[in-house]
Homo-oligomer: A and B are copies of this chain.
Amino acid sequence: MRVLEHPDVEEIRLEAVLHALSDPMRLEVVRFLATTENGAACSEIDLAVSKSTGTHHYRVLREAGVINQVYQGTSKINSLRRADLDELFPGLLDSVVSAATRRPRR
């Protein structure tokens, strides 16, 4: 089975995480995943963008170390790397998720 590349914990950089979070679509993915226990398939998260655009956003999140992606059959299951991020940048993910949850859609 194909395994997707993920950065090791020590390779995760603050700038890259902030960049990955600085997009409304990717914030929406992160906000949604924060509400799940065991992650979600891409198809469960409605981004209202083309498949290739969606794939791009998930890849940016994965390569920055924000999410894990594993194949389950033909679909990818996404989950937040909460433990890694909380260890590296205490409070960051929580503050971003709660700000993203409260923000008005503009």
Contact = CB atoms under 8 A, between A and B. Distances in A.
A101 to B, nearest CB: 10
B100 A90 contact: no
A2 interface: no
A95 interface: yes
Interface of A: 13-16, 18-19, 21-24, 27, 88-92, 94-96, 98-100, 103, 106
Given A14-B96, A90-B95, 18 more contacts: A13-B103, A13-B106, A14-B99, A14-B103, A15-B23, A16-B22, A18-B18, A18-B19, A18-B22, A21-B22, A88-B99, A89-B96, A89-B99, A90-B98, A91-B94, A91-B95, A92-B92, A92-B95
